[in-house]
Amino acid sequence: MAIIEAEPYAFDLDPGRASLVIIDMQRDFLEPGGFGEALGNDVSLLRRTIAPTRCLLEEARAAGLTIIHTREGHRPDLADLPATKKARGRLAAGIGDPGPMGRILVRGEPGHDIIPELYPLPGEPVVDKPGKGAFHATDLDAMLKNRSVAQLIVCGVTTEVCVNTTVREANDRGYDCVVVADCVGSYFPEFHEMGLRMIKAQGGIFGWVATSEAVIAALQTAAL
């Protein structure tokens, strides 16, 4: 066990039962020309998460944590794309349509893939998810249970959308979640701030919030 200095109070990390879950660090959200930009967003706002997430990923790999990556996207035939999700935003170029990085949010297209800085190693599961939450219509819960994972250290984008949805899903399934403040990001700074406050309020109603520095310190202590 190791202690992560966190809010609203210290988190007892059990590295043998913890997973680093990196949510949707895809080119479609972090690079120009993808889905994020199609929605009218400035993708540069998310890019500050890359360097700290890379450091944490390397430490988590060294500590032997289960590493899981997720990607939001759809089958090439779009059979798993709700009509409502396709219609939302009345976008000129939306999900499934061609863009500078291939068909937007479609599996197998360049824009759908994970950014090179955080690319999964062979053996690290990648969960392809059609929704905002990583548990909806995926085998994530089964994979975590098969590995006896009970604690999730959560990074990724965006704070108030896929990160919050996933943490809420995980919380209801009995997982303890630590959201890493500098490794999650939003196109809206105020939503990022409130997204973190919503998680840790009321005694940690959905989980904990910590810095990557604090998580790395705990991982290094556990390794001693």
Binding site for ligand TIU (CB under 6 A): 24, 29, 39, 72, 132, 157-158, 161-162, 187
Task: For residue 164, give the H/E element and its range.
Answer: helix 164-172
Of 89 and 108, the one with the shorter C-beta distance to ligand TIU is: 89
User: Tokens 């043998």 appear where?
Assistant: 16
Asked if 97 is an active-site residue, the reply is no
Of 72 and 113, the one with the shorter C-beta distance to ligand TIU is: 72
Q: Rounded distance, CA 12 to CA 4, Å?
A: 6
Q: Rounded distance, CA 224 to CA 208, Å?
A: 24
Question: Tokens representing 185?
Answer: 């990001």
Q: Rounded distance, CA 165 to CA 212, Å?
A: 21
Of 49 and 212, the one with the shorter C-beta distance to ligand TIU is: 49
User: Whole-number minimum distance, CB 161 to ligand TIU, in Å?
Assistant: 3
Asked if 176 is an active-site residue, the reply is no
Of 68 and 161, the one with the shorter C-beta distance to ligand TIU is: 161
User: Whole-number minimum distance, CB 157 to ligand TIU, in Å?
Assistant: 5
**Among 132, 155, 162, 183, which one carries the catalytic annotation?**
162
Torsion of CA 55, 161, 98, 122, to 10 degrees: 40
Asked if 139 is an active-site residue, the reply is no
**CA-based angle 200:205:208, to the nearest 5?**
40
User: Whole-number minimum distance, CB 17 to ligand TIU, in Å?
Assistant: 26
Of 11 and 187, the one with the shorter C-beta distance to ligand TIU is: 187
Question: Tokens representing 77?
Answer: 């035939």
| Residue 82 neighbours by CB distance under 10 Å | 13
User: Whole-number minimum distance, CB 129 to ligand TIU, in Å?
Assistant: 9
- In 3D space, the residue among 101, 119, 79 whose CA is nearest the CA of residue 33 turns out to be 101
User: Whole-number minimum distance, CB 206 to ligand TIU, in Å?
Assistant: 16
- Please give the positions annotated as active site: 24, 129, 162
